[in-house]
Structure 1
Amino acid sequence: MSWLARHRRLAFAAVCTFWTAVVFVGHFFPTLPFISIPWRGEQSFEDLLRTEGRKTTARDDFIFLGIDQQSLQLDAVGPEEIAGNRAFELMTERPFPWSREIWVLLLDRLFGAGARLVIFDLVFNNPNDGDPGFRTALDRYHDRVVVGMNIDTQNNTQVVLPNTQLIPPPAETDDRVGFVNYWNDELDGKLRAARFFTSERQLAGVAPVSGDEVYTSMSARALTKLGRSADIPQDQRDHLFRFSSNDAYPPFPLWQIFHPAFWKANYADGAVFKDKIVIVGASSQIQHDFIVTPLNPATPGPAVHLQVIAATEAHEFL
């Protein structure tokens, strides 16, 4: 009788132990050479399914207003169009970030047209001209507006909040404020999952415990204001979700909202915004707000937020 036959149980146990160790090490140390190969293969197959398979249906009531290059330089309008147009005057009197009076004008225009919710994928952390008026507008539209905060993981997980002239402390618990962050895959830097809640302990690599101060994502804040809080996963895990198509939420130039001719011709004097969920954020290359996803190496950050909200409402988790 051969040695293998006599010790088959020991050999079987050794094989099982080896592959268990490989899976364990690959899970907790996914960037190790060679060990990561099985995980890369699995991710490639999953990404193929995301690209070619079923996607989250694009929502026709979602609109992305982009701060594009033309909004930043505004050379498509002449001096005679700027004169007397308060929004254009603010956009041309100095480089971005403009006086926050511009956002007061935008909120009044969108909500006057019947918009349901406005989300700012912006962090208003530094004081600026127009803050008192913007705070008044944020208070006036309290139940219909969300703004961003940022968890700066490059600087000791510093939490960057809207300045106190806009949102009184503790801003992180205000139901208008949510973190804009996503956590990309460590293996290849692509975003595949959304996290709706996190805490300082989790960000420090320590298991969350009851009683932690929990931060809420901007998507979760928006869903709550839309009456869809029951759809939000109530944990601190990263949830894989189905993306929408690449062209689901193209950016509409912000500056056109304030141009009388475009407002009439392209937006039917505002009727386009009735009952819409609007997100405002960067769409120009110079602002560098792009996220690598399995479907697109340069998906605008605001469009990702809309995709997460759409997937959550439709329960399109993997």
Structure 2
Amino acid sequence: MQPNRVKALTSLIAFSCTSFMSANAIMPKIFAAVKLKLVKAMRQTIYGGRKFIWAGFWASVLTFVGVNFTPLYWINEKVKDDLLKQFRIKQHPDLVTVVIDDQTLRQLGRFPFDREVYAKLLDRLKEAGAKVVAFDILFIEPTPSDKIFSEAMKKFGKVILGVNLSQELRQNSGLEKQLKRLMIPLDFHIPLSVSGIMLPPKTLLEACFGIGFVFPFPDRDGVCRTLPLAVRLGKSKHVVPSLSLAATMAFFSKPKMKPDSVQWNNRKVSLGEDWDIPVLPPFSPSQFGFKSISFVRVLKGDFDRNSFKGKLVLVGMSASGLVDRLPTSTDPLAYGVEIHAAAINALLTGQSPIRTPLWLQFFIILAFSVPLGMCASFRQLYCLVISFLSAFFLAIVLSLLLVRLGFVMPLMPILISELLALFVAISLKAETQWRMFQPYLAKPVDEMLDAGSEKTRSVERREITVLFSDIRNFTAISASLTPYEVAMLLESFFNHMTEVVQIFGGVVDKFLGDGMMVLFGALSNQTDHAQRAVLCAWQMLEELNVVNWEWESATGSPLKIGIGVNTGISILGDIGSEWRKEFTALGLAVNLAQRLEELTKEVGSNLLIGEETYWQVSDLVIAEPLEFLVKGFEQPIVAYKVLGLTEKGKQIRRSILAARV
């Protein structure tokens, strides 16, 4: 290897090693910084937005209850009906419907037909190679031609007869034994049950391959959205299958039946809580192109022989005025044969939308509402609007996408919960902002306006109690933070402290950088203003423990404050220039309160109170007297270092906090 290449390679290796070592030294710091930022953001969002999280939670609860257990349920069902129109199932090639239409009635005469006609139909279908024939027609009363019809059924093989549900079982000789043969044993519970069924005559019952009930079970609003696949007969462990299930079982074989699904080979169909299946597209022959042939054409042999070979044939009625029509999720007027055709098609194809169970519906609503509620804690209003519109758009797109994939997501509850969460969150945000600004702006203005126009411009002397608070070593602490972090931490600190001030009846006069000036008894006749001020100061020290949870994660050290409280005669009023005024307090009592706050660091105390204040709260606090020379005062002043609260002081503090809650 040439010397230049060796030198270059050596330099490259040295540079790589140096870079790797530098990266090893720098990356932990970068990861630590990123981790700190994430932790701070999470803590700020979680702690600062707890009430907004609860807003989203209760919005979810109210929405869930409203759309499932109130009249809103039916509006929700209508919305789901429109959504389900996007769901498409291809028609299974082995399903054909034969309908008694207007053409059939014109040529064969008045309905019902002689049962010899149905025998001839079975003969034609057997010649064409049909595998299963299911009649969505009731054969209840015995007729002279039953024997001919029964012989045709035996000759064909797999014929399913429709039965109707009733209040009691016919007591025919040997009928119960035949019924048990045609029912299905299940080892799990099905919710729907009937006390009896109306069966065909014994001759037909013995000849048929199976039976299935044809009643469609519409919802309370008259819309047929689902079709139960089976019902329990009384207290029996056996169930009566629907015509759809019985026909499909005859076409395939007995399926694997579970409480939430039925399965043939690789075809699995999810079922609802009532062991039912949605009545969904492809739905009607006119709308979705079901293979349908006129009854009379089959009798005359006027059809393609391959149309029925190896097929499942469903025979029903579609003639005008012959049967009642029911609205469904996708068709305002559908025939019973179309309803059963849709159910059979879903069973044959294994395609059916998975409806959302109630417990999952609640968590989906929760997943949209809670984050949206948390977004209300953002400072900028446009962030909240963008979040809402994004969630709204996402819910619609996701619902349409999932329904195409076979999942029905509760769109209307999501949208309602989003609107409700947004309304509650904005209301809470407005209330929070009002509560934050009211102590030092809204309340003074309201108090002065209520007192009259002369009061708002007057200046007076009054005994009040003044509280000064200041963060210790804030300049050094803020030097390691960005301006944004300083502003956010101070905002959080002042939010907590302002809320405490409001609870104890104080008014924030002004913020002084990292400190604050609070007045008690300035705008209302508080005879206990000294007690309220001292108890407020002690509660501010307690609240500091909560603030430090966020503060320590940002600065690495706990926050400490000093508080000075003093009582005395002060000048109160609307003071300032012609262009800008503010309500404030002036005088020696105010100056002394500020000096006491400055002295807290020197004496190693968090709270110092003036002598006049102490005499008004002596039974509430445990305090140690101290003497100071204070600038601006000729004589030494006596102040008290507060060590704790007496039992009476604790009790009064608890009562004030409880009254606020």
Q: Same fold (TM over 0.5)?
A: yes
Pairing 1:242-281 to 2, within 5 Å after superposition: 242-245=280-283, 246-249=287-290, 251-259=292-300, 263=302, 267-268=303-304, 270-281=305-316
Tell me which residue corresponds to 1:50: 84
Gaps of 5+ in 1: 1-7, 75-90, 202-208
Tell me which residue corresponds to 1:161: 199
SS at match of 2:139: coil
Q: Structure 1 pair 44/228, CA: closer, same or farther in 2 (3 Å)?
A: farther
Deviations 1:44-90 (A, max 9, x none): 22112211x1211112332211111221231xxxxxxxxxxxxxxxx
Q: CA deviation at 1:312?
A: 2.0
Give the structure, 1 or 2, with the largest relative contact order (CA under 8 Å, sep 6 or more): 1
Alignment counterpart, residue 230 of structure 1, candidates 234, 249, 255: 255
Tell me which residue corresponds to 1:184: 218
Asked if residue 146 in structure 1 is aligned to residue 160 in structure 2, the reply is yes
Tell me which residue corresponds to 1:282: 317
- Report if the CA contact (8 A) 2:281-2:288 is conserved: no
Gaps of 5+ in 2: 1-49, 170-193, 263-270, 355-661
- Report if the CA contact (8 A) 1:283-1:289 is conserved: no
Tell me which residue corresponds to 1:77: none
CA RMSD, aligned part only?
3.2
Instruction: Name the one with the larger strand percent.
Output: 2
Deviations 1:207-252 (A, max 9, x none): xx7x434211111111111115437636852333542153332642
Q: Structure 1 pair 247/316, CA: closer, same or farther in 2 (3 Å)?
A: same
Alignment counterpart, residue 72 of structure 1, candidates 87, 105, 119: 105
Alignment counterpart, residue 294 of structure 1, candidates 329, 337, 341: 329
Tell me which residue corresponds to 1:78: none
Measure the CA separation in 1 of the matches of 2:345 and 2:279: 10
Instruction: Name the one with the larger helix percent.
Output: 2
Q: Structure 1 pair 116/96, CA: closer, same or farther in 2 (3 Å)?
A: same
Q: Which amino acid aligns with 2:295?
A: L
SS at match of 1:199: strand
Pairing 1:85-100 to 2, within 5 Å after superposition: 91-92=108-109, 95-100=110-115
Measure the CA separation in 1 of the matches of 2:127 and 2:306: 10
Measure the CA separation in 1 of the matches of 2:113 and 2:166: 23
Measure the CA separation in 2 of the matches of 1:231 and 1:303: 26
Deviations 1:88-141 (A, max 9, x none): xxx35xx32222111111111111111121111111111123100111122222
SS at match of 2:137: coil
Tell me which residue corresponds to 1:315: 351
Q: Which amino acid aligns with 1:217?
A: S
Q: Which amino acid aligns with 1:240?
A: P
Deviations 1:193-217 (A, max 9, x none): 121111145xxxxxxx7x4342111
Between 303-312 and 242-251, the greater mean CA deviation after superposition: 242-251
Tell me which residue corresponds to 1:204: none
Q: TM-score under structure 1 normalisation?
A: 0.71
- Report if the CA contact (8 A) 1:231-1:312 is conserved: no
Q: TM-score under structure 2 normalisation?
A: 0.36
Q: Which amino acid aligns with 1:316?
A: S
Measure the CA separation in 1 of the matches of 2:97 and 2:222: 25
- Report if the CA contact (8 A) 1:177-1:218 is conserved: yes
Measure the CA separation in 2 of the matches of 1:25 and 1:247: 35
- Report if the CA contact (8 A) 2:130-2:312 is conserved: yes
Alignment counterpart, residue 40 of structure 1, candidates 74, 91, 106: 74
Q: Structure 1 pair 252/241, CA: closer, same or farther in 2 (3 Å)?
A: closer
SS at match of 1:121: strand
- Report if the CA contact (8 A) 1:125-1:161 is conserved: yes
Alignment counterpart, residue 239 of structure 1, candidates 269, 277, 300: 277
Tell me which residue corresponds to 1:105: 120
Q: How many residues align?
A: 261
SS at match of 1:221: helix
Q: Which amino acid aligns with 2:275?
A: R
Q: Structure 1 pair 214/151, CA: closer, same or farther in 2 (3 Å)?
A: same
Alignment counterpart, residue 306 of structure 1, candidates 325, 341, 344: 341
Larger radius of gyration: 2
- Report if the CA contact (8 A) 2:279-2:342 is conserved: no
Q: Structure 1 pair 272/259, CA: closer, same or farther in 2 (3 Å)?
A: same
SS at match of 1:122: strand
Deviations 1:245-285 (A, max 9, x none): 5333264221122335xx1xxx23x2322222211111112
Q: Which amino acid aligns with 2:164?
A: N
